[in-house]
Amino acid sequence: MQATSNLLNLLLLSLLAGLDPSKTQISPKEGWQVYSSAQDPDGRCICTVVAPEQNLCSRDAKSRQLRQLLEKELKEKMDELLPLIPVLEQYKTDAKLITQFKEEIRNLSAVLTGIQEEIGAYDYEELHQRVLSLETRLRDCMKKLTCGKLMKITGPITVKTSGTRFGAWMTDPLASEKNNRVWYMDSYTNNKIVREYKSIADFVSGAESRTYNLPFKWAGTNHVVYNGSLYFNKYQSNIIIKYSFDLGRVLAQRSLEYAGFHNVYPYTWGGFSDIDLMADEIGLWAVYATNQNAGNIVISQLNQDTLEVMKSWNTGYPKRSAGESFMICGTLYVTNSHLTGAKVYYSYSTKTSTYEYTDIPFHNQYFHISMLDYNARDRALYAWNNGHQVLFNVTLFHIIKTEDDT
């Protein structure tokens, strides 16, 4: 303000001194522009207003430098902001998804509320009694299912690949639903070690829970676990051993009278498979051959505690022509080979003491079966197929008993 006041004073002094303002006028070439002027009655100029030209700043070097700096700074800011554009776009997309999720949650909440209201209509004890009633009815229905006749074999399902070409693996058909222990016996001779696994999953992963060192070597691969005990054929004999896993000792042993052993009457694949021990819905069985029956298969039902023969049936099927065999509901099913193309070819019913020739094929996936046993609890065939532990599903034809049946 002080500088402006001094400038005005200087202009007034010039006017009073009769100076010619035109001599003090700044030329437009110097960057100034005349905006207005005043004259006295004689036509003399007494006042002139001048100001810088509008484009003076654009020609100034400092102004251009300032503008360049501003443009550079703005460009840098824009470069920083550009990468945020995709982020904003993604945010918009995420916001849409969040909105959809909120809507789905609201819908689900409404469904759950409806279910809770429906459940709330019943008393817990009432629901529990209804479940128990359904279980009782299911058990009653299962009791009416008589033993079935084998109609079909499907599979196999490969559970694991391990061991040699020959061996046995099994579960206990009389075990509770919570007891799913697996026993594994590799090879058909010169072995006494039984490996135990708590479940099929542990068996697959190889997580052993326990091993048993039997007092005798076994012969063949046709062992069976039944009601907590292992039944096997003692090596180089026709003696059957009952070994308790829980007690870790032999509970019984008995010679199977006249039974051939040590590859006298084996299955087609050999391997000291003369005596085959098995179990089904009815009980414990031994399948073997004798000279007295001309080398044909003999079926004997055994007492599971004493191993005494309770009853025997002589069949007309040569033991050496059988690939493998298994019992289902008191009927023996015999395969015609242990190799590719094998099928269930012959069956013998101990209930009627009759036989028939059958034609039930199954897929011998790994070309060599050295063990084939039925498990009544699982309704499945356990097999050792050339170093593979496999399961076959079976289809049985059931007859439902009515109240009038005796």
Secondary structure letter of residue 399 according to DSSP: -
**Residue 121 pLDDT:** 57
Residues 6+ apart with CB under 8 A from 72: none
Alpha-carbon separation of residue 391 from 42, 288, 325 (angstroms) = 130, 24, 15
Whole-number Å distance between alpha carbons of 124 and 132: 12
Burial class (CB in 10 A: 0-12, 13-18, 19+), 28: exposed
- Contact status, residue 334 vs residue 320, Cβ threshold 8 Å: no
Give yes or no for residue 78 having a pLDDT over 80. Answer: no
SS3 233: strand
Phi then psi for 203, rounded to 5 degrees? -60, -45
Query: Higher-confidence residue: 139 or 223?
Result: 223
Q: Which pLDDT band holds residue 9 (cuts at 50, 70, 90)? A: very low
Whole-number Å distance between alpha carbons of 382 and 225: 12
Is the peptide bond between 318 and the residue preceding it cis, with omega within 30 degrees of 0?
A: no
**Residue 127 pLDDT:** 65
Q: What is the pTM of this model?
A: 0.66
Q: Are strands 210-213 and 224-226 parallel, antiparallel or unpaired?
A: unpaired
Lowest mean pLDDT among 25-39, 127-141, 165-179, 186-200: 25-39
Phi then psi for 342, rounded to 5 degrees? -65, 150
